[in-house]
Chain A
Amino acid sequence: DTAVSQTPKYLVTQMGNDKSIKCEQNLGHDTMYWYKQDSKKFLKIMFSYNNKELIINETVPNRFSPKSPDKAHLNLHINSLELGDSAVYFCASSQEGWRGAVTDTQYFGPGTRLTVL
């Protein structure tokens, strides 16, 4: 009974392709996030959704488009993939997010390793 799950775990694709990563949480949380961990190992937030509403968009290129069909899912679609998009992408969720207490804790999925050739 995985709390935050992501598919696929590995994704290898050619430059210029369009791909999607799916994320689901069964914790009943209101807020979901996408993070990118690049080659320098920094974990940086990309997007945050609260109950299907976009809250945070961290100057991510327009080629990245999150989609939240319901509050348990936050998918990431990437158009025209570039070499620099190669990274590990983590989905996370938290109970309250920006509306709630600063003590609100984020729970992470296992990550999707994207390799663009």
Chain B
Amino acid sequence: DQQVKQNSPSLSVQEGRISILNCDYTNSMFDYFLWYKKYPAEGPTFLISISSIKDKNEDGRFTVFLNKSAKHLSLHIVPSQPGDSAVYFCAAKGRGSNYKLTFGKGTLLTVNP
């Protein structure tokens, strides 16, 4: 059962525009959410996170929004740069899952120059 879902396997945007990556979750015990970025042949790299007590967290060009009632989060990248091209994984965890990270399948973002 997929507790974390990323329904878009890929996304293509123009350099300078906004990239919006979406993630849905089903487990109401999740209370911490993370985005990881992964380049080919490398491990996932932590990008940004958000606690369930917040609805927004911003770090430079990256902003994560959390809608708890909809069990939905999104990652906004503004402005998008070619170096942002990678696979983005949404992940979630909580005390109910013994802090185990549950990952989505990832979304491949391609930023075109």
**For chains A and B in complex, what number of residue pairs have CB atoms within 8 angstroms?**
53
- Number of residues on chain A facing chain B (CB within 8 A): 27
Q: Tell me which residues across on chain B come within 8 A of A107, comparing CB atoms.
A: 46
Q: Which of B31, B32, B99, B101 lies at the interface centre, i.e. has the most chain A CB atoms within 10 A of its CB?
A: B99
Q: Tell me which residues across on chain A come within 8 A of B103, comparing CB atoms.
A: 42-44
Contact at A56–B101, with CB atoms within 8 Å? Answer: no
Contact at B42–A111, with CB atoms within 8 Å? Answer: yes
Contact at B43–A105, with CB atoms within 8 Å? Answer: no
Map CB proximity to A onto B30-56 as digits: 1 under 8 Å, 0 otherwise.
Answer: 011010100001111110010100000
Interface residue ranges of B78-113 to A (CB < 8 Å):
89, 93-95, 98-101, 103, 105-106
B-side residues, CB < 8 A to A, are: 31-32, 34, 36, 41-46, 49, 51, 89, 93-95, 98-101, 103, 105-106
A-side residues, CB < 8 A to B, are: 4, 9, 40-45, 48, 55-56, 58, 90, 92, 97-98, 100, 102-111
